[in-house]
């Protein structure tokens, strides 16, 4: 793997679990990077699963808001929302 590829890939938030990704987000913010977080997942149309996913997004928004305030407004902290995760299909 090339050095350039490794350097570029190292700034992306990645983790198999939420805590792993959260630690990387905190490291990036601590190094003066802005971040965009994306909770990965697949399309669902199951109402119970949609409610659970919306709950995940709401909890994550609260955490991201805290980090935005903690690390000042000079760093952008954002969330990419996948409409297909909350039952919205592209037609």
Where residue 28 falls among pLDDT bands split at 50, 70, 90? Answer: confident
Burial state string for 31-65 with b = 16 or more CB within 10 A and e = fewer than 16: eeeebebebeeeeeeeeeeeeebeeeeeebeeebe
Where residue 91 falls among pLDDT bands split at 50, 70, 90? Answer: very low
Model's pTM, two decimal places?
Answer: 0.74
- 34 or 7, higher pLDDT: 34
Average pLDDT of 54-80? 89
């Amino acid at each position: 793997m090339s050095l350039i590829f490794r350097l570029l890939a190292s700034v992306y938030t990645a983790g198999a679990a939420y805590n792993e990704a959260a630690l990387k987000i905190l490291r990036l913010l601590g190094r003066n990077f802005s971040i965009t977080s994306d909770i990965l997942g697949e399309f669902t149309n199951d109402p119970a699963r949609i409610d659970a996913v919306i709950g995940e997004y709401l909890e994550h928004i609260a955490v991201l808001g805290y980090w935005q305030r903690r690390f000042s407004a000079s760093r952008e902290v954002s969330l990419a929302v996948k409409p297909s995760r909350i039952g919205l299909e592209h037609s």
